[in-house]
Amino acid sequence: MKSNSKKKKNGRVITPRKQASRIVRWWYQPRLVLPLWPLAPLSGLFTFLAAFRRTLYWLRLKRQTRLSIPVIIVGNVTVGGTGKTPTVLGLVELLKQAGYRPGIISRGYGGSGPFPQRVTATSEPAAVGDEPKMLFELSGVPVAVAPKRGLAAQLLAESGEVDIILADDGLQHYALARDIEIAVVDGERGLGNGWRLPVGPLRESRRRLRKTNWVIINGGQSQTIEGLKLKRPEQAVPMALAPMGWRRVSDGAEIEVPDGESALAIAGIGNPERFFNLVMQHGIDLRETRVYPDHYAYAPTDFYDVSNEVPILMTEKDAVKCRSFARPHWYFLKVSAQFPEGFCEQFLQAVSACVQQKNQ
């Protein structure tokens, strides 16, 4: 068994993979920091290969999967968490309220398969991925996973249970044709130093955002919106993640976490600081925070050093993987995406237009 040793630094647990977090911090500095300079040639190679791959699809030299129902892509141009999953959940609710029957597809990152696969109430996160399992539990709509998103999309489309498909991530997965593209940008971190991988966090250039239908700004920072330099001001949509209260991890029951109670907060997401800030906004005294890699597979041994009396606070995504061994004082924060009314109307109009076009 691999060692899960940790060392403490300034009240925070440092995991063996902390170096990855250090690189992410370098990415989001305003200027290129010295340790990243040697990687510049690799960034150039990454840019060339990505452009070459896109060109193959543009010239139709590589086959795309096209469906008879609308496909909506929710993705980003950066590596890491930007708020795609709560955005997808918010859009699903909009579509359900408008009378549509949406379904969700995902890569199933971290899942062992087999693929393609439907997510069910008995699916294990280890098989289908943590985010798809959470999406299934929270959305109440059909969810399918496969690294080749086209296979997952076909699986849902052929079931007859859905009339619209939303892809959680996949902006760069050009093998699946799409009707609407929505990019999500972290309003606090923006696009970092503006460099492509591995020198910076960008998968594609900021110009790629201009080709999407909308750019959701998670956090809605005005300086971030200006920095994107979009062609159409209305393309930028500020979004807020509204806290909806605390739930017990073991059974999902609502529970109040007393103000000022000293607690441990953990996060295995792309931007853990966003979650820690939300916790502190509730007036909760954090005795310690622990950062784990995104999609981290939690185990009971990760918490052997924590007293049963100490509350542990986490995200919904983390709670899915901790539920089977959660203690009574473990809670997760439920959040909900809040969109401007004008965007909701525009989005539903665009969906209606897609449906009409598909039915012609």
Name, in order, each residue with C-beta under 8 angstroms of 346's C-beta and a sequence gap of 6 or more.
214
Distances (CA, A) of 308 to 85, 174, 206, 287, 322: 31, 48, 47, 15, 15
Q: Residue 82 annotated as binding?
A: yes
Residue linked to tokens 């630094």: 9
Distance CA 39, CA 48 (A): 15
Distance CA 308, CA 320 (A): 20
Question: By the 8 A CB rule, do 40 and 134 touch?
Answer: no
Q: Residue 83 annotated as binding?
A: yes
Q: Are strands 180-186 and 71-75 parallel, antiparallel or unpaired?
A: parallel
Helix axes 341-359, 84-97, angle to 10 degrees: 70
Distance CA 281, CA 311 (A): 17
Distance CA 135, CA 89 (A): 7
Q: How close are the terminal C-alpha atoms of the chain, in Å? A: 58
Q: Residue 84 annotated as binding?
A: yes
Distance CA 2, CA 79 (A): 27
Q: Residue 78 annotated as binding?
A: yes
Q: Residue 289 annotated as binding?
A: no
Q: Residue 145 annotated as binding?
A: no
Distance CA 16, CA 6 (A): 7
CB atoms within 10 A of CB 50: 18
Q: Residue 55 annotated as binding?
A: no
Structure tokens at 271: 């931007």
Structure tokens at 217: 């700004």
Known binding residues are: 78-85
Known binding residues for ATP are: 78-85
